Amino acid sequence: MSIRIVGTGSALPKRRVENREIVGLVDTSDAWIRERTGIAGRYISTGETVASLAAQACRRALEDAGKQAGEVELILAATCSPEEAAPCVACRIQKDIGAGNAVAFDLNAACSGFLFALHTAWAYVEAGICKNALIAGSEVLSKLVDWEDRGTCILFGDGAGAVYVEKCESGGILGFVMHADGQRGGVLAGGGRQLINPWAGRQDFRPFLEMDGREVFAFALRQVPVTVEEALGKSGLATGDIDLFVLHQANRRIIEGISKRLGADLARFPMNLEQVGNTSSAAIPLLLDQLRRQGRIERGMHLVLSGFGAGLTCGACAMEW
């Protein structure tokens, strides 16, 4: 028994921001950003929220799967950038799409969040708790990014992706691996709220994301290939069996490096980061949805999904679509 992705959906904010619009904010250039990251532009919220983008992506995923909202048993929202602490994003999705029979909660594993949520849904189905789930990855990181820090503001974009998954008797997810290393969490951290109460003195806090880009780069290059190979080992598949490696969209050079380390042709590593930047937990479901709608994913194909990010966290799964 396993779970299979039956429908996909995605949503992006209306406002597109090209590299040249960032050049006016920090000391950078379109050429530098393209060459060092592969990113040409991204979509930035001018009012869309994590929940509104997620709900739109979920509606599209349900429509794609041919399902009614009332049939959904579990809604998981992966995000590290909710606008408010309560209610959680998943409950807002539940209300917006009218999925009154679903239980709903959020998960935060930063850019690995979608994979961790997919793993949770898989475990719930395997445990017999539910038979289907709607999983969204949604971020509006633009409010946590320091638009005066050229090391981070060039990278991130806002958006959402969602998948509807169902229990299946064969195929679907074949192997899953996840890792977390809190000891090294400091290399990508921040985006906090100040402690304000009558008893707390003045506190240091980091309102924006701060990152040691080189460390994160090295972590991804080292850890993702190992994690992918572990997931392949669990699934009984080999690198050569995989039609598409759908990786977290952080940096073109990271994906190129991973393809080399895995010994797999770069043509099997689809990318959309040039258009959308790094959308964190939305990156993998957003790319899956675009690939599906372009007709590049068909039933029976073998895929690897793999993400990495703050935590530090990393995960991979191998599946038959």
Rule CB under 6 A: which residues touch ligand COA?
28, 32, 36-37, 111, 150-151, 154-155, 188, 211, 213-214, 216-217, 250-251, 278, 309
- Residue of this chain nearest to ligand COA (CB atom): 213
Distance, in Å, from the CA atom of 72 to the CA atom of 108, rounded to the nearest integer, reads 21
Size (the chain), residues: 321
Q: By C-beta, is 25 or 123 nearer to ligand COA?
A: 25
Q: How far is the CB of 167 from ligand COA (least distance, A)?
A: 31
Q: By C-beta, is 36 or 234 nearer to ligand COA?
A: 36
Q: By C-beta, is 130 or 226 nearer to ligand COA?
A: 226
Asked about 314 being catalytic, the answer comes back as no
The two tokens of residue 238 are 């080999």
The two tokens of residue 153 are 């503001």
Q: How far is the CB of 190 from ligand COA (least distance, A)?
A: 12
Q: By C-beta, is 26 or 168 nearer to ligand COA?
A: 26
Q: How far is the CB of 32 from ligand COA (least distance, A)?
A: 4
83-113 residues labelled b (16+ CB within 10 A) or e (exposed): eeeeebbbbbbbebbebeebbbebbbbbbbb
The two tokens of residue 196 are 């304000």
The two tokens of residue 213 are 């880009």
Q: How far is the CB of 139 from ligand COA (least distance, A)?
A: 11
Q: By C-beta, is 62 or 109 nearer to ligand COA?
A: 109
Q: How far is the CB of 251 from ligand COA (least distance, A)?
A: 4
Q: How far is the CB of 92 from ligand COA (least distance, A)?
A: 24
Alpha carbon separation from 253 to 108, 152, 258 (Å, rounded): 26, 16, 9
Q: How far is the CB of 152 from ligand COA (least distance, A)?
A: 7
Q: By C-beta, is 96 or 149 nearer to ligand COA?
A: 149
- 8 Å CB contact between 307 and 111: yes
Among the listed residues 19, 80, 132, 248, the single catalytic one is 248
Asked about 248 being catalytic, the answer comes back as yes
Among the listed residues 80, 88, 91, 111, the single catalytic one is 111
Among the listed residues 278, 302, 314, 317, the single catalytic one is 278
Q: By C-beta, is 71 or 149 nearer to ligand COA?
A: 149
Asked about 302 being catalytic, the answer comes back as no
Distance, in Å, from the CA atom of 321 to the CA atom of 191, rounded to the nearest integer, reads 36
Query: Among all residues, which ones are annotated catalytic?
Result: 111, 248, 278
